[in-house]
């Protein structure tokens, strides 16, 4: 027997997404806020404590005044889980890109998107540069799941942290120690550029592109969603990053990273891809369930 489909209107989804962007553009995710407070309480270096204080004060002001938490208001990244019993009026990407364009205007957010990634260096690409501003390009990962709901994990991802991502195709015989060194070196060598303290997403397995998606997805997860298997490894990597002493904003102290989050997937016996994706202290993430 065929189940009745639940209709989710374009207007309802847009309303929820605009409201969610309105929360995170000026307020980081509560768990990240707790981690920053914990970092401040554990920090002994005076300069690092001053900077952490400023980061926390800046967030309080942004929340109060409803001003962007950071001048880089980011690129909207969405992990969507769409129930098979949901019917949409229009394609989800169209809805989300229209909602993003409205939110960016409504909250006076900086438009950080270059329609042509080569910024007009090739004359042939003029068409790309003249796109309508009724939509704002986003990054969308869409998965179908059982049920009649729509779950959207949204993030405003800044360029500074994103630029410090790394991916390596390891030999499948690689030891865990080599992977740990790769992750630790990636974070430490990034210095102040990803605006530490950072949250470190690690994707192990899958293939080339899936490992990168896992690393990004890991930034959206809490420990329950990641299971217990890699918890000790996460703690070990976090300890080793912070022991290397790059510190807050790459300047001082012991708090280079707040958390390490690992997601894994099965992979080909001939491969072992590992990806690292960083998120800065702004960590503007939210989940919307419709
Ligand atoms: S990395 Fe984050 S905190 Fe730093 S400038 Fe970019 S968005 Fe802002």
Tell me, yes or no, if the pTM score tops 0.85: yes
Res 3 pLDDT > 80: no
How many angstroms does the Cα of residue 111 sit away from the middle of ligand 1? 14
CATH of the domain at 199: 3.30.1330
User: For residue 141, is it within any domain?
Assistant: no
Using the Cα atoms of residue 155, residue 159, residue 160 and residue 165 in order, give the sign of their dihedral: positive
User: For residue 86, is it within any domain?
Assistant: no
How many angstroms does the Cα of residue 159 sit away from the middle of ligand 1? 7
Task: Give the separation between CA 71 and CA 92, rounded to whole angstroms.
Answer: 28
Distance of CA 270 to the CA centre of its chain: 29
Instruction: Answer for the pair 177, 237: CB distance below 8 angstroms, yes or no.
Output: no
Residue range(s) defining the domain that contains residue 228: 159-283
Q: According to the model, what pLDDT value does residue 265 have?
A: 97
Ligand 1: nearest atom to the Cα of 74: 7
User: For residue 254, is it within any domain?
Assistant: yes
User: For residue 218, is it within any domain?
Assistant: yes
Ligand 1: nearest atom to the Cα of 162: 1
Question: Is the CB of 279 within 6 Å of ligand 1?
Answer: no
The string of pLDDT tens digits covering residues 160-191 is: 999 999 999 999 999 999 999 999 999 999 99
User: For residue 274, is it within any domain?
Assistant: yes
On the 0-12 / 13-18 / 19+ scale of CB atoms within 10 A, 155 is buried
Domain count within the chain: 1
The string of pLDDT tens digits covering residues 68-127 is: 999 999 999 999 999 999 999 999 999 999 999 999 999 999 988 888 899 888 888 776
User: For residue 177, is it within any domain?
Assistant: yes
User: For residue 170, is it within any domain?
Assistant: yes
User: For residue 201, is it within any domain?
Assistant: yes
The string of pLDDT tens digits covering residues 19-50 is: 999 999 999 999 999 999 999 999 999 999 99
Q: According to the model, what pLDDT value does residue 275 have?
A: 98
> Which of 55, 69, 70 for mutating ligand 1's site (highest number of atoms within 8 Å of CB)?
70
DSSP string, the chain: -PPPPEEE-HHHHHHHHHHHHHHHTSS--HHHHHHHHHHHHH---HHHHHHHHHHHHHHHHHHHHT--SSS---EEEEEEEEETTEEESS-HHHHHHHHHHHHHHHTT------SSTTTT-SGGGHHHHT--TTS---EEEEEEESSS-EEEEEEEE-HHHHTT-EEEEE-TT--HHHHHHHHHHHHHHTTTTT-SSEEEEEEEEE-HHHHHHHHHHHTT--HHHH-STTHHHHHHHHHHHHHT---BTTTBSS-SEEEEEEEEEEE-TT-EEEEEEEE-TT-EEEEEE-
Question: Is the CB of 280 within 6 Å of ligand 1?
Answer: yes
Q: According to the model, what pLDDT value does residue 22 have?
A: 97
């Amino acid at each position: 027997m065929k189940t009745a489909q639940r209709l989710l209107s374009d207007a309802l989804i847009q309303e929820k997404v605009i409201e969610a962007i309105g929360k995170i553009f000026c307020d980081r995710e509560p768990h990240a806020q707790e981690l920053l407070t914990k970092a401040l309480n554990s920090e002994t270096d005076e300069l690092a404590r001053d900077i952490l204080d400023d980061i926390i004060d800046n967030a309080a002001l942004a929340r109060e005044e409803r001003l962007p938490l950071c001048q880089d208001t980011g690129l909207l990244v969405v992990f969507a889980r769409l129930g098979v019993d949901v019917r949409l009026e229009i394609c989800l990407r169209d809805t989300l890109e229209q909602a993003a364009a409205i939110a960016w205007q409504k909250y006076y957010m900086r438009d950080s998107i270059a329609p042509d990634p080569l910024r007009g260096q090739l004359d042939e690409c003029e068409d790309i540069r003249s796109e309508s501003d009724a939509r704002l390009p986003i990054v969308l990962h869409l998965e179908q799941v059982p049920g009649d709901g729509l779950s959207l994990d949204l993030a405003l991802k800044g360029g500074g942290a994103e630029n410090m991502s790394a991916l390596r195709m390891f030999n499948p015989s690689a030891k865990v120690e080599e992977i740990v060194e790769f992750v630790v070196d990636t974070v430490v060598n990034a210095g102040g550029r990803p605006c530490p303290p950072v949250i470190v997403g690690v994707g192990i397995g899958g293939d080339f592109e899936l490992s990168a998606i896992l690393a990004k997805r890991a930034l959206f997860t809490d420990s329950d969603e990641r299971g217990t298997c890699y918890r000790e490894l996460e703690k070990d990597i976090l300890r080793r990053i912070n022991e290397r002493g790059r510190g807050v904003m790459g300047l001082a102290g012991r708090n280079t990273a707040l958390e390490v989050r690992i997601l894994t997937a099965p992979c080909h016996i001939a491969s072992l891809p590992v990806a690292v994706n960083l998120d800065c202290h702004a960590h503007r993430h939210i989940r919307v369930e419709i």
